[in-house]
Amino acid sequence: MTIPEIVAHRGASRERPENTLAAFERAVALGADAIELDVHRTSDGVIVVHHDPELNGAGPITRLTSSQVTDFKVKGERIPTLAEVFAAIAGRARIYVELKGHDTVPSTIAIIRGSRSNSAVQPDAAAVHCFDHRLVGQAEQLDASVPRGVLEASYPIEPTSAARPVHARDLWRHRDFVDAALVRAAHAEGRRVVAWTVNDAAMMRRFAEWGVDAICTDDVALARATLRP
C-alpha cells in the first residue's frame, strides 16, 4: 500500500469558500500535501483563481479587469490572483494549476518560473493540468521543466495515450475511470496517477492499495485520517 499525496480540491472546500486564500490556508493547516485550483485571465492580463468562467451578475472574467474580479466576494472571501496564492502557499504545499482557456498559459508559466527564485520552493513544487490537452502542449513549449498533467473523464483503449504527445507526468483521471491496470500502465512509463474527486474512505484505501500517486479530495481531514492514521 502506498501513501498517496493528499491534494485539496480547490482548497479545503468543505470548510471554506473554494478557490480562496482562506480555503488554501485551511488546507495547509489540515495537513494537505498540495492544493488544486483553477485559473482564468482577466481583460487586463492578470491570472485570477476561480472555477467558473463567469462571475454571477458580473459577466465573463475575460471581460472584467483584475480589480473588478478581486473586488468580487465569494461567500465573504475575495477572489485571489494566482500570484497571491503563490506568495502565500508556495514552499508550504505543492500547487496544481488547472488551466482554463488558451490565454492563461503564458502568464501561469511565468508565475511558476518566478516562484522558483525562492530557495524554499522545489523545482516540482507547482504543475499545470488541463482538459484541453493542446494547452498542456503549449505549456511544454514555453517551459518543459514545469510538470504537466492531462485531465480525463474516460478510459481510452490505451490508458496512457493522451499523456504521451505532451510528455505529461500526471494522469488526472476521474475516480470512476481509475483501476489497478491504469496505475500499472502509468508507472511502467514513469508517470503518476492523480484520482479526482475522492471523498469516500473506502475508495481512498482501495486507490492506495493500487498505488495511486495522489488523491484529489474535498475532505482533507478524512483523507488524513484514512491514509495517515
Q: Which three cell numbers stand for residue 25?
A: 490556508
Cα separation, 72 vs 98, whole angstroms: 21
% of the chain beyond a pLDDT of 90? 92
pLDDT band at residue 118 under the 50/70/90 scheme: confident
pLDDT at 123 over 90: no
Domain CATH number, residue 202:
3.20.20.190
pLDDT at 186 over 70: yes
pLDDT at 119 over 70: no
**105-115 helix and 133-142 helix, angle to the nearest 10 degrees:** 50
Q: In degrees to the nearest 10, what's the CA dihedral of 211, 23, 99, 69?
A: 170
Contact 40, 47 (CB under 8 A): yes
Largest CA distance in the chain: 48
| pLDDT value of residue 122 | 83
| pLDDT value of residue 116 | 86
pLDDT in tens, 128-164: 999 999 999 999 999 999 999 999 999 999 999 999 9
* CA-based nearest residue to 47, from 117, 115, 149: 115
Cα separation, 201 vs 67, whole angstroms: 41
Give the residue, 101 or 194, on which the prediction is more confident: 194
CB atoms within 10 A of CB 119: 7
> Total structural domains in the chain?
1
pLDDT in tens, 24-54: 999 999 999 999 999 999 999 999 999 999 9
Q: Which domain holds residue 193?
A: 5-227
* CA-based nearest residue to 149, from 52, 214, 81, 220: 214
174 strand-pairing partners: 196
| pLDDT value of residue 171 | 98
Mapped to the 3 state alphabet, what secondary structure does 106-161 carry?
HHHHHHHHHHCCCCCCCCCCEEEEECCHHHHHHHHHHCCCCCEEEEECCCCCCCCC
pLDDT at 168 over 90: yes
